[in-house]
Amino acid sequence: QVRLVESGGGLVQVGGSLRLSCATSGGTAAPYAMGWFRQAPGKERVVVAAINYDGGNTYYAEPMKGRFTISRDKGKNTVYLQMNSLKLDDTAVYYCAGNSVRWPTQFQYWGQGTQVTVSS
């Protein structure tokens, strides 16, 4: 059974940085595409960034371009999301997702989420 566990969330001031991690375990040994999504209070969950199975292709939602970087360490089965220049609007629960069903917005596996709060 595939398990995704996020970490690295927390409280940060506007303009600060955080790095989220998502450790994967279980399931097929073959790497698959991974993604990060977020859900702000009262809003739908939306894609933030995605990375293909070997890291050769990435996708970023427009508001994140130039500020967020997704990467993966295949040896550790871990995916990262480096978030810089954080804004108040980045406050949300961030979810890790694995194995895209429809790139880059639909995924099969999901983590439990980690809270990111940006304060002024």
Per-residue model confidence as pLDDT tens for the chain (120 residues) = 889 999 999 999 999 999 999 999 887 656 789 999 999 999 999 999 999 988 899 999 999 999 999 999 877 789 999 999 999 999 999 999 999 999 999 999 999 999 999 999
Give dist(CA 18, CA 82) in Å, integer.
Answer: 6
CB 24 within 8 A of CB 79: yes
Q: What is the pLDDT of residue 25?
A: 86
Q: What is the pLDDT of residue 32?
A: 86
Instruction: At 102, give phi and psi (nearest 5°).
Output: -140, 110
Q: What is the pLDDT of residue 29?
A: 59
Q: What is the pLDDT of residue 28?
A: 64
Q: What is the pLDDT of residue 74?
A: 77
3-state secondary structure labels for all residues of the chain: CCEEEEECCEEEECCCCEEEEEEEECCCCCCCCEEEEEECCCCCCEEEEEECCCCCCEEECHHHCCCEEEEEEHHHCEEEEEECCCCHHHCEEEEEEEEEEECCCEEEEECCCEEEEEEC
Q: What is the pLDDT of residue 7?
A: 97
